[in-house]
Amino acid sequence: MEFEWEYYVKIAATFKRNIRPLLLNLHFAANSKADSLLLSIQFIKEQLAKNGTLHKTKASLFPLGTIPKSVQPYLFGKPPIKVLDIDKYEFLLYQQLNNACEAGNIFIQDSNKYRNFDDDLVSESVWQNKTELLQNLGLDKLTMPIEEILANLEKELEYWLERVNRRITNKENTHPLLNE
């Protein structure tokens, strides 16, 4: 795994050139599971806006709450000097950001794929009049009791079962597949 993290240092210029502009221009929101990651991202954005680079920021100022214990040995220098490797830290945040977006814990407001699910829902104030709203849609099944819907579906299923059986018995359906 150490070779993997050393590789990230080698490609740091590439991900800074390609991913950093996205990070700086996208607006993120998070649920409570990703609050610490969102704080780390905000810190990175602020430091880049202020200094133009992360290397001018003291390593001791970086929020470390998002670094899993399993990864810590790869992000810090060898003892006795345990200094945070800024490039590895930045790449870790990009990995975590990707994972959090995929999991639905971080949202990108201007995105179709990574929007907050709540943005697609009807607001609470509108939903207060749900009976009237559902009736105005003209979709009867949304206002019918579930027992009535199930009874109608059962009748329809019986009709089709009888029809298929009748066609098989009358040899109208010449291609039935019967498992015996």
Q: What is the pLDDT of residue 144?
A: 86
Q: Is the pTM of this model over 0.75?
A: no
Determine which helix (DSSP H) or strand (DSSP E) holds 65, and give its type and residue range.
none
User: What are the pLDDT digits (tens) for 101-120?
Assistant: 999 899 988 888 888 877 77
Distance CA 42, CA 63 (A): 10
The pLDDT of residue 87 = 93
The helix (H) or strand (E) run that includes residue 59 is none
Question: Is residue 66 a contact partner of residue 96, using CB atoms and an 8 Å limit?
Answer: yes
Cis peptide before 145 (omega within 30 of 0): no
Encoding tokens for residue 136? 């105005």
Query: Residue 107 belongs to what H/E stretch?
Result: strand 106-108
Residue 180 has what pLDDT? 65
pLDDT of amino acid 25: 92
- Which residue, 92, 118, 116, 96, is CA-closest to 104? 116
Segment 139-154 mean pLDDT: 90
- Element holding 29 (H helix, E strand): strand 28-30
